[in-house]
């Protein structure tokens, strides 16, 4: 699937193995489509709780 570069940006991120395991557990537990969707959702949820808006 091609990325619409007018709406999205691709970045390369390296995660420690322990964190990646937690992300994958979140992915499967929440029955998300893929790991990227899980990462985006986790970031969104974290930003919603952030005092910086």
pLDDT tens digits, one per residue of 1-47: 677 889 999 999 999 999 999 999 999 999 999 999 999 999 999 99
Q: Which domain holds residue 22?
A: 17-49
Any domain includes 2: no
Q: What is the pTM of this model?
A: 0.82
Q: How many Cβ atoms sit within 10 Å of the Cβ of residue 32?
A: 16
Pairwise CA distance, residues 4 & 8, whole Å: 6
Any domain includes 23: yes
Output the six-digit token pair for 6: 């007018």
Any domain includes 11: no
Structural domains counted in the chain = 1
Any domain includes 8: no
3-state secondary structure 17-42: HHHHHHHHHHHHHCCCCCHHHHHHHH
Any domain includes 36: yes
Pairwise CA distance, residues 41 & 31, whole Å: 12
Any domain includes 9: no
């Amino acid at each position: 699937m091609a990325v619409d570069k007018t709406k999205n940006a691709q970045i390369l991120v390296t995660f420690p193995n322990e964190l990646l395991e937690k992300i994958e557990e979140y992915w499967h537990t929440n029955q998300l489509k893929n790991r990227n969707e899980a990462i985006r959702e986790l970031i969104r949820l974290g930003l919603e709780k952030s005092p910086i808006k």
